[in-house]
Amino acid sequence: MKKEIFPAFDTIESYGHEQVVYCSNKELGLKAIIGIHNTTLGPALGGTRMWNYANDEEALIDVLRLSRGMTYKAAVAGLNLGGGKAVIIGDSRTQKTEGLFRAFGRFVEGLSGRYITAEDVGTSIKDMEYIMMETRHVTGVSIELGGSGDPSPVTAYGTYVGIKACVNEVFGNDSLNGKKVIIQGAGGNVGKHLCKYLFEEGAVLFVNDLFEEKLKPIAEKYKAKIISENEVFTTEADVLSPAALGGIINDDTIPKLKVKIIAGAANNQLEDEEKHGKMLKDKGILYAPDYVINSGGLINVYNELEGYNRERALKQASGIYDILTNVINISKKENIPTAIASKKLAEERINAVSNAKRIRIYRDVNLFKSRNQ
Ligand code: NAD
């Protein structure tokens, strides 16, 4: 039987990537793919995910999808970074070794800074420290090693200011005093910091988590009401702030929603970006695109590249307020969902820089020509 050949170049071109690197070390069990989507704005930065993919194709599609997402995220956040991501194929519970991560680190080093890695699902600070033994192109290492440590407090702060920008749009002022906010995943790293910021400003909290024992201290400290998973989508409130998992805004949940705003840190909240973004708009729910409101984490590691300073990272994350306001204004002006407006904003910035670079190269070529005439 003829073996099907996977059309790798067609797939890569359809996502618009610059470069895809396959990394292999049989002895150490390393199979990894690095996706560099776009480096117009700067080096491609994005985490390394370790996941037991069913096959190589699935891993490639995931790295292409994730690295393209990073291009948009960095561009909208106003950072001088491109979009990249890496995947290591394997079980993160049983197949991690120092050798594996050091071998991967040598591949990252081979890219001479075109790709900078960080933590992601299935990898930890410890793994980043192994990678750091081989390359300096790694972020998200511990504070003791000159890194930025846990990014969650900055992500939570950015989410908090993003919620305020949305509240300002819907209510005409950005006070959270008395506003009802539902937080899914409130027991997590981002969720618990977010609860603190919201409570301190007088918001009334409704909290949910898969593990209820995580919620008890939060409910006590922040006078929050614990709600069930179903109530996350049926409770009448001002804001729903997803801080757990992706895909929760979909055909089933949208009809149930009784909130005015969805603004939270979870990645990939819309099961289908175009379809569900439009459904929310038609229902009159303001949606803060997830990769815009949760960009505090990326802002945090970006700061590590310049010598980490928490105050500066928080200050930069406060800019999410204006960025989201800009996205909302574009969405209103052009009558398009916010998820599409944020993509437009990202593309405009990349194209402007790309054109400026082209003009500069053209000028340099002409200078060179005139000197040699
Ligand atoms: P986390 O694992 O610390 O917290 C997630 C919480 O969600 C946990 O308490 C978990 O028990 C809960 N949870 C899992 N499944 C659930 C379910 N079905 N229903 C309710 N609760 C559930 O993760 P985190 O670092 O706090 O990140 C939260 C989200 O924000 C993730 O989607 C992550 O990708 C995204 N994010 C995080 C950062 C960051 O800086 N940590 C940055 C950007 C985006």
The size of the chain, in residues, is 373
The pLDDT value given to residue 146: 84
Does the annotation mark 332 as catalytic? Answer: no
What pLDDT tens digit does each residue of the chain (373 aa) get? 566 677 788 889 999 999 999 999 999 999 999 999 999 999 999 999 999 999 999 999 999 999 999 999 999 999 999 999 999 999 999 999 999 999 999 999 999 999 999 999 899 999 999 999 999 999 988 888 888 988 999 999 999 999 999 999 999 999 999 999 999 999 999 999 999 999 999 999 999 999 999 999 999 999 999 999 999 999 999 999 999 988 999 999 999 999 999 999 999 899 999 999 999 999 999 999 999 999 999 999 999 988 899 999 999 999 999 999 999 999 999 999 999 999 999 999 999 998 877 776 666 666 666 655 5
Each residue of 27-55: b (16+ CB within 10 Å) or e?
A: eebbbbbbbbbbbbbbbbbbbbbbbebee
125, 189, 269: residue to mutate for ligand 1 pocket, most atoms within 8 A of CB: 189
3-class secondary structure for 183-244?
EECCCCHHHHHHHHHHHHCCCEEEEECCCHHHHHHHHHHCCCEECCHHHHHHCECCEEEECC
Cα(41)–Cα(45) distance, rounded to whole angstroms? 11
- In the structure, which protein residues have their CB atom closer than 6 angstroms to any atom of ligand 1? 151-152, 155, 184-185, 187-191, 208-211, 214, 229, 243-245, 265-267, 294, 297
Q: Output the CA 207–ligand 1 centroid distance in Å.
A: 13
Residue whose C-alpha is closest to residue 72's, from 273, 345, 354, 355: 345
Q: The domain 152-345 belongs to what CATH superfamily? A: NAD(P)-binding Rossmann-like Domain (3.40.50.720)
CATH among 3.20.20.150, 3.40.50.2300, 3.40.50.720, 3.40.50.10860 for 8-145: 3.40.50.10860
Domain boundaries, the chain: 8-145, 152-345
HSE of 199 in the Cβ direction (CA atoms, 13 Å)? 19
Residue nearest to atom 32 of ligand 1 (CA): 266
Let me know if the fold of 8-145 is the same as that of 152-345.
Answer: yes
User: Which phi and psi angles does 20 have, rounded to 5°?
Assistant: -130, 130
* Residue of 31, 73, 85, 180 with catalytic role: 85
- Residue 274 burial by Cβ neighbours in a 10 Å radius (0-12, 13-18, 19+): exposed
pTM of the model: 0.90
Q: Output the CA 186–ligand 1 centroid distance in Å.
A: 8
The pLDDT value given to residue 306: 83
Those residues with Cβ within 8 angstroms of residue 299's Cβ, 6 or more apart along the chain or in another chain: 77, 79, 154, 158, 313, 316, 317
155, 160, 214, 269: residue to mutate for ligand 1 pocket, most atoms within 8 A of CB: 155
Q: Output the CA 264–ligand 1 centroid distance in Å.
A: 10
